[in-house]
Amino acid sequence: MHIYILGIAGTFMAGIARLAKALGHQVSGVDDAIYPPMSTQLEEDGIDIYQGYDAAHFAAVKPDIVIVGNAMRRGYVEVEAMLAQNIKFISAPQWLYENLLFNRHVLAISGTHGKTTTTNMLALILTFAKKNPGYLIGGVPKLLPGSAVLGDSPYFVIEADEYDTAFFDKRSKFMHYHPKTLLINNLEFDHADIFENLQDIQKQFHYLIRLVPNSGKIIYAFDDENIRDTLKMGCWTPTETVGLNQGDWSAKNIKADGSAFTMCYQGKELGQVTWNILGLHNVQNALGAAACAHQAQVASHDIISALESFELPARRMEIKGVVNNITIYDDFAHHPTAMKTTLAGLRARVGEHARILVCLEMRSYTMRTNVHGAKIIESLLAANQIFIKKPEEINLEELQQMATLHPDCRVFVNTDELIKNVSTQAKPGDHILIMSNGAFDGIYGKLQNVLGNT
């Protein structure tokens, strides 16, 4: 069967392409924005990609079915051609359930923040314990063979996103996964392009909770009031809780930067985790992954050993380079809470006297429409300097007024001007944290080149 994928270069869709190829299908696809790390993975998998949408692709490809990514909308040229030519199509989550998940023990990682990292952790733990899981991660892991693997056991680990399924199916993607083990990391307002308010998101999580069997397990953050309120809407499944200080799964002896902690289950110490990972949020992610692994009968010593070898996936506090003793990091930022905890982890690691310069691209819809407002700047107060690329949707004066909340926050309408300004401010020993959920106009390589020539 020839499967053609609309929007193939997104993290989720590239994983779908890899799984379809592993099932023996011929796979090709199209996208506008194609860049690493997903472009690299698709090339390595031998999957043909068209750059730019064109109705003529259907005549050339002659697909048996089209998998439609959720970035597609009515009015897109290939969407209109697909409908006009009566070509068979399906959403990616529905295809995934019908072809892979329907007979598996699905372990779903959900929540506003930390999904990719926690999914990566859990997949690594199960792989380390020789459970041979399948998985689909919304990013490229460092110690696993790619973002998606079929696996040959009952277990399938999946990053369970609350974003909508497709232009023709407005349910959250995770409604298609039918998990037996569900982790809810946290719950906040996000995705303002599809949700009116937090209550809209909670309703989708409530629908998901309705699908988890009473033979399964729901694991959630102990101190998250929004999750507790959602569970009060109805829960028919046994639960366990996760928390840094309280919960069925908890931690003791936590180092300030999160690089070491003692893992505990129901008050019993399971062992010490010492790893090269920053942030208290990642300690909580590890506890959630451990709780899920416990449902797959993984021994505690295997959980701890796997976590100690863990490396963050691409674009999660990834060191992109060190130039003239200036360290440059890349972080997939999209929400002020996650930005604040990430920055806190870096600050705890480098100390109070080291300088941290943040370069922020306000790229997500929620950021571009300024839903979070001043919380964006407030989340970055631990930085010494902030350099913001202004989105078109926000008035310059409005953003400059927000910037006054920090003693040294600068706003730019042009990425090259931002890079030039950062390069004049950076000094040996500094840490430059680039925060964006996109390509940021190639800032990663450009900044290193400029710093290397100064």
User: Looking at the structure, do residues 360 and 430 belong to the same domain, yes or no?
Assistant: yes
The enclosing domain of 13 has a CATH number of 3.40.50.720
Q: Is 84 helix (H, G, I), strand (E, B) or coil?
A: helix
Burial class (CB in 10 A: 0-12, 13-18, 19+), 169: middle
**Nearest to residue 420, comparing CAs of 428, 408, 412?**
412
CATH of the domain at 413: 3.90.190.20
List the 409-412 sheet strands across, edge first. Answer: 318-323, 326-331, 431-435, 356-361, 385-389, 409-412
Closest CA to 423 of 326, 300, 311: 326
| 283 & 159 share domain | yes
- pLDDT at position 61 over 80: yes
Q: Are residues 168 and 270 in the same domain?
A: yes
Which one-letter DSSP state was computed for residue 391? P
Residue type, 401: Q
Of the pLDDT bands very low, low, confident and very high (cuts 50, 70, 90), residue 438 is confident
Same domain, 115 and 13: no
- Helix, strand, coil % in the chain, rounded to nearest 5: 35, 25, 40
Residue 97 belongs to some domain of the structure: no
Distance separating alpha carbons of residues 86 and 99, to the nearest angstrom: 22
CA angle, 126 then 39 then 340, to 5°: 65
Q: Give the model's confidence band at 381: pLDDT under 50 very low, under 70 low, under 90 confident, else very high.
A: very high
Is residue 452 predicted with pLDDT exceeding 90? no
| CATH code, domain carrying 130 | 3.40.1190.10
Residues 294 and 202 grouped into a single domain: yes
Using 50, 70 and 90 to split pLDDT, how confident is the model at 390? Answer: confident
b/e map of 368-393 (b: 16 or more CB within 10 Å)? bebbbeebbbebbeebbbbbbbbbee
What is the per-residue pLDDT across 166-194, written as a single tens digit (0 to 9) for each? 999 999 999 999 999 999 999 987 767 77
Average pLDDT over residues 344-372: 86
Secondary structure (3-state) at 295: helix
- Give residue 359's identity as a one-letter amino acid code: C
Let me know whether 150 and 280 are in one domain. yes
DSSP 3-state assignment of 107? strand
Whether pLDDT at 407 is above 70: yes
Amino acid code (one letter) for 195 = F
pLDDT higher than threshold 90 for residue 439: no
- Laid out side by side, the sheet with 2-6 consists of 48-51, 26-31, 2-6, 65-68, 89-91
Whether residue 454 has pLDDT greater than 70: no
Answer yes or no: is pLDDT of 314 > 80.
no
CA 348 to CA 340: how far, in whole Å? 12
Give dist(CA 233, CA 423) in Å, integer. Answer: 52
Mean pLDDT, range 338-352, rounded to an integer? 86
Q: What is the pLDDT of residues 42-57, one digit of tens each?
A: 888 889 999 999 999 9
Q: What is the domain extent for residue 70?
A: 2-92
Is the per-residue pLDDT at 149 higher than 90?
Answer: yes
pLDDT at 214: 97
What percent of the chain is predicted at pLDDT more than 70?
A: 99
CA 98 to chain centre: 24
Q: How far apart are CA 405 and CA 383, in angstroms?
A: 12
Taking the C-alpha atoms of residue 385 and residue 408, their distance in angstroms, rounded to an integer, is: 5
Place of tokens 């040959």: 152
Instruction: State if pTM tops 0.85.
Output: no
Answer for the pair 261, 253: CB distance below 8 angstroms, yes or no. Answer: yes
Residues contacting 73, CB < 8 A, separation 6+: 79, 167
Average pLDDT value over all residues in the chain: 92
- In three-state secondary structure terms, 101 is helix
Q: What is the pLDDT of residues 20-36, one digit of tens each?
A: 999 999 999 999 977 77
CA atoms within 13 A on the CB side of 113: 23
- Cα three-residue angle 281-190-361, rounded to 5 degrees: 80
The reply to whether 132 and 277 lie within a common domain is yes
**Do 87 and 226 fall into the same domain?**
no
Are 229 and 302 contained in the same domain? yes
The two structure tokens encoding residue 223: 């101190």
Reading the block at residue 275, the tokens are 């790893």
Q: What is the rounded average pLDDT of the residues 55-68? A: 96
C-alpha–C-alpha distance, residues 179 and 217, integer Å: 9
Give how many domains the chain has, as a whole number.
Answer: 3
Mean pLDDT along residues 77-88: 97
